[in-house]
Chains A and B, each alone.
Chain A
Amino acid sequence: MKTYLFLFFALITHLSQAQDFSTPVGHLQHISTQMENINKKYLGYVSASAHGKREKKVEALRQKLLTEIQEARMNIASMPPYKGNKAFRDTAVQFMKLYYNVMNEDYAKIINLEEIAEQSYDMMEALMLAEEKVNEKLRQGNDKLNSARKTFAVANNINLIESETKIGSLMEQATTTNKYYHDIYLLFFKPYKQEFFMLEAMNKENMTSVEQNRNAMGNYAKEAIEKLKRIDPFEGDNRLLAACSNMLFFYVNEAESMSPVTDYYLAKDKFDAAKKAFEKGSRTKEATDAYNKAVNEVNKASQSSNNVNEKLNKQRTALLNDWNRAVSNFLDDHTPKFKDR
């Protein structure tokens, strides 16, 4: 399932009346209607994604959403200005462009990726920083749009009544669910990724990488546990919190259990040296005993290392399954169901 990490603000909607461009209300209305169409497509897409529909279908809905955004943009752009004033119209068009790029994941068109690359330590940080910045842009875009709408209303003596529409409330629910999931996911992701690097390093038996990534994994997990404590259950539902917490405690434990693995690297070096010394030197009883001792030590160390790894692997597999299931259930239960007809 595609993890949706962006916060989408509920786009402004209104109760519709006559589509008449010649009146200010009509002007406003036209734009609102476009927004509503987009929201519907968005909800349909997110709903299908969260409720386990086939990937092909989900992707098709995403494409429909993209198309809708383009259409909406063109519809708004082709609208004549109201009494020469096109500020609101143009702001809406700009926002549509931004929205399209976000949905299409064309981040390079939204933010300066090179700058982010330079400011970030690695891909992981870059990704998170990029997300943050894109969200920021969306927020700003949304604020601009709202302010342009208010300005237009004031200038044309329209009394804006903010009433909640069905679509509006569905959008809010979808957004809130997504944000909650997103915040917890980030706490899981950092130590998860560190573990990934550590396991890679273990394949190469590279002490430098293993040790550094192990320490980082443990520290990030500990930090995350503290942050997790300050997050409340979502509408009483704490399954996601529980699953994340279990993963984090696993990572902390893993970080502290790894010394048999690094001890094995050292024992192996020691054994190699002993073997060489034994082969070079004279075969006295003392030398033979020392060699045999080294053989026993390295075998023991190897055994301990393998045991630790086996145990951790089992635990990890079980916990990751739990986590994935918890995520899937959470999104299924809390994302609104919607089909755009």
Chain B
Amino acid sequence: MVMKNFFLLLFLLPILAQSQQVDVKQQALYLKRFLEKNHVQPRKWDDVASLLFYNKWIETIDANKLLLSQEDLKTIAPYKTTIDDELNTGNFQFFGKCATLIQARINQLDSVAQSILAKPIDFNKKEQISWPLQTNILLTKDLSSLWALYIKKQVLQHILNQNEGLQINAAYNLSKDFSQAEKKAGLAVRNNINRIKLFFSTRLEEAYLNTLAWCYDPHTVYMNPQAREEFMSLVNAKAFTAGFSLAEDEEGNKTINYLQPGSSAWNSSQLHKGDKLLKIKVGQDEVDVSAYSSKQIEQFFEKNSHAQVEVTTKTPQGTVQKIKLEQEKIDDDDEIVKSYLIPFNGKNIGYIKLPGFYTREDGDIKNEATLKGCANDVSKEIVKLRKDNTAGLILDLRSNGGGSMWEALQLSGIFIDIGPIASVKDKAGKVQFLKDPNRGTIYDGPLLVLINHASASASEFTAAVLQDYNRALIVGCATYGKGTTQVILPLDTSSSISNNPYGNSVKVTSGTFFRINGSTVQWNGVEPDIALPQLTNSFFERESMQPSALRPDKSREGIYQPGSPLPVAILKQKSENRLLDNGYKAKIKQQQDFLNQRETSAKVPLNWSEYFSYFNGVKAQEKQLFDKKNSVVIQKIENNTFDKNKMRTPSQIESNQVALEYLGKDEELDEAIHIIYDWLTL
């Protein structure tokens, strides 16, 4: 009956770390042995697994299909079915072969770049490139000309990215300003290529090991000490930064990987995971982030701490924003969860946004009951809202990637009187039920939970149990589909991380959790009761899109008392009618069509005037479809009464105002308010 200590981390995306010299064969065999022992469903190494590895590896080393020709691929194709044999026998050849090939190609790309960028580029020449590439180019000898076009495209892209709003003439002129821009862009492109070179010469072994880990499941990650440090710092709410961390792809694109609870990044509500960072400005100093590594950018922040920072970002849909942030020391006294009051047609609706299932570090980490994290904060917000006589409550778990399972357990328990919440199954198949830590509820009125494709893990845990108990109406779109839990263990199982902080570790999927009805959110996610039209494409990653994701399994059904069923059918009908009438459904379709089109290959013109119109055409379309500048949909949204007369620093006042404005334009929230109002007035 004693509840196990479940301080497990349910995070989404893996991080690539800095490199160290690695004996890839030795590490691979250690890793395989380690995963055999510790992974909840260790993969059997056969030809199917070999192909899985091969495909992921090719995607890793040549995601854009730019570096290798089909001839090249033919030379390594025989290894498609022998990687498992290599791992079983220790006769490693594939890695070495790939390393030689890729080094050769990247060096060639480098010299092509150097020769092109050494002199001014002819932007009058009518050339074009088909982008994104759908297949690798057929012949090796044609790679150089492909790269020449690619580099030209990169330069054009940089020039226009860096010159938002500045006057650049559609007619190409050789003014001094333009050639400066070209030089700067050229530098950025060279930096990019250098970083790719560096990656292939120093981190290829690590990439191989990560591919091996990935084959077991997408959340199992090989970590060298630095990667582990970086990862652990994400969980620590006390770090001194502006509040976000970056993930970087090969091309040097930096996207926001994580938002720190309570930081100004989190508070601004304009930053989200997946947003691409373009520029950072501190005072008069502005930096084009594409020219620098994530590490350099972090150092830039450290050098300029205590200052206000302005970041320029681009959302996955393409909206460019300038956001002011303040670097603040993250204190656990800071309020992280915020609640707002939405007066609507005579009823007061409460709204609570929870961006992550964070926990705090004061208290004894071995005694989870002393840690006061987000569940406690949400309880406080509910007590505040109660003073405003809220008739209904909306809990927003959109884009909440997960976190502490213990917090999720407590948070669910706030709305459920007593009973089991979920079950967990270990490698041996033993099932253990997790129960509501406290009898009673804090709020037992109408509850609506908002979810989207990026609601993962602990969010799914919570939405699932509230759905299974008929306690909340689940609105949005199907969630991510991660029903697994991970732990970080040292690769050398005879040591502990504290004994050997310089050893390598593995974040390994060691357990799975299940819904109280015996099914799982793994792969399928939580299906909403009322689906809202939403954008889906490869930006909006879900678990089932990863070939190595674990397939759904079953557990035992718990003994629980669900409440009476909610009036889903009628509320759903009303919602669907409303979204047809107000044009929202049609608008999403337009946006979807636009995004789909962007994924298919387009012919990008590489002469200046045509590129200029192409680029601006795309941007104009994006703006027209996605810009929210004047589209307030929620007429009244305010702080709750208790918070209204709270003293704030000037930057807090400003970020509060910005948050309110941003929420006012949230169409999904607007629909949720209508739905809950319908519910209250049935």
* B residues near A278, Cβ cutoff 8 Å: 647
Q: Are B417 and A211 in contact (CB under 8 A)?
A: no
From A194, A205, A269, A290, B439 is in contact (CB under 8 Å) with A194
A262-B383 in contact given A272-B333, A273-B647, A290-B647 (Cβ < 8 Å): yes
Q: Does B481 contact A (CB under 8 A)?
A: no
Which among A38-46, A66-74, A133-141, A213-221 touches the partner chain? A213-221
Complex Cα distance, B652 from A276, in Å, reads 12
**CB within 8 A of B372: which of A118, A206, A294?**
A206
Say whether A18 faces chain B, with CB atoms less than 8 Å apart: no
How far, in whole Å, are A208 and B413 apart by their CA atoms in the complex?
Answer: 9
Residues of A within 8 A of B647 (CB): 273-274, 277-278, 287, 290-291, 294
B contact residues vs A (CB 8 Å cutoff) = 1, 331, 333-335, 369-370, 372, 375-376, 378-380, 382-384, 410, 413-414, 417-420, 433, 435-442, 559, 642, 646-650, 652
User: In the assembly, what is the distance between CA of A122 and CA of B331, in Å?
Assistant: 35
Instruction: Establish whether residues B649 and A281, one from each chain, have CB atoms under 8 Å apart when the complex forms.
Output: yes
Contact indicator A216/B440 (Cβ below 8 Å): yes
Q: Residue among B335, B439, B652 with the most chain A CB within 10 A?
A: B439
If A194-B439, A262-B383, A281-B649 touch, does A212 touch B335 (CB 8 Å cutoff)? no
Q: Please name all residues of chain A whose beta carbon is closer than 8 Å to the beta carbon of B413 when the two chains form the complex.
A: 208, 212
Q: How far is the CB of B314 from chain A (nearest CB, A)?
A: 32
Please give the distance in Å from B34's CB to the nearest CB on chain A: 33
Rounded to whole angstroms, the CA-CA distance of A118 and B433 in the bound complex is 8
CA distance A311 to B402 in the complex (A): 43
Minimum CB–CB distance from B407 to chain A (whole Å) comes to 10
Q: Does A117 contact B (CB under 8 A)?
A: yes
Tell me if B440 and A194 are in contact (CB < 8 A).
Answer: yes
Looking across the interface, which residue of chain B has its beta carbon closest to that of A116? B1
A276 to B439, CA, bound (A): 35
A323 to B483, CA, bound (A): 50
Pick from B375, B440, B652: contact of A213, CB under 8 Å: B440
Contacts of B370 in A (CB 8 A): 204
Q: Which residue of A lies closest to B433 (CB)?
A: A118
CB distance from A215 to the nearest CB of B (A): 4
Partner of A277, one of B378, B440, B442, B649: B649
Residues of A within 8 A of B (CB): 117-123, 126, 194, 197, 201, 204-209, 211-217, 219, 262, 265-266, 269-270, 272-274, 276-278, 280-281, 287, 290-291, 294
**13 interchain pairs, CB-CB under 8 A:** A123-B1, A206-B376, A208-B379, A211-B379, A213-B439, A216-B440, A219-B440, A272-B333, A274-B646, A276-B331, A277-B647, A278-B647, A280-B649
Q: Are A118 and B559 in contact (CB under 8 A)?
A: yes
Closest 6 CB pairs of A and B: A216-B440, A212-B440, A212-B438, A207-B379, A216-B439, A274-B647
A123-B2 Cα distance, complex, nearest whole Å: 9
Q: Which residue of A lies closest to B556 (CB)?
A: A118
What distance in Å separates the Cβ of B320 from its nearest Cβ neighbour in chain A? Answer: 31
Tell me whether A117 and B1 are in contact (CB under 8 A). yes
Q: Besides the contacts A122-B435, A208-B414, A274-B646, what 15 more A-B pairs have beta carbons closer than 8 Å? A: A121-B420, A206-B372, A208-B375, A208-B376, A208-B379, A209-B437, A211-B379, A213-B439, A219-B440, A266-B383, A266-B642, A269-B380, A276-B331, A277-B647, A290-B647
Residues of B within 8 Å of A272, CB to CB, are 333
Contact at A209–B646, with CB atoms within 8 Å?
no
* B382 contact set on A, CB distance < 8 A: 211
The distance in angstroms between the C-alpha atoms of A270 and B647, with both chains bound, is 8
Q: Which residues of B lie under 8 Å from residue A216 when comparing CB positions?
A: 417, 438-440
A124 to B676: give the CA distance in the assembly, Å: 37
Q: A207-B376, A208-B376, A266-B383 are in contact. Are A121 and B418 (CB under 8 A)?
A: yes
Which chain B positions have C-beta within 8 A of A273? Answer: 333-335, 646-648
Complex contacts, B437 vs chain A, CB 8 Å: 209
Q: Name the residue of chain B whose CB is nearest to the CB of A259.
A: B383
**Cross-chain contact B436 with A121 (CB below 8 angstroms):** yes
A216 to B440 alpha-carbon distance, docked (Å):
4
Distance A313 CA – B647 CA, assembled complex (angstroms): 35
Residues on B with C-beta less than 8 A from A277 are 647-649, 652
- Which residues of chain B are within 8 angstroms of A217 by Cβ–Cβ distance? 440
The answer on a CB contact under 8 Å between B380 and A265 is: yes
- A274 CB contacts on chain B under 8 angstroms: 646-647
A212 close to B442 (CB less than 8 A): yes
Across the interface, which residues of A come within 8 angstroms of B648, CB to CB?
Answer: 273, 277
Q: Which of A213, A265, A291 contacts B438 (CB 8 A)?
A: A213
Chain B's closest residue to A265 (CB) is B380
Decide: B410 and A208 in contact? CB cutoff 8 A: yes
> Chain A residues with Cβ under 8 A from B436's Cβ?
121
What residue of chain B has the Cβ atom nearest to residue A278's Cβ?
B647
Partner of A126, one of B1, B418, B440: B1
Q: In whole angstroms, what is the CA distance A294 to B376 when docked?
A: 22
Task: Report Cα–Cα, A214/B440, bound state, in Å.
Answer: 8
User: What is the bound-complex CA distance between A265 and B382, given in angstroms?
Assistant: 13
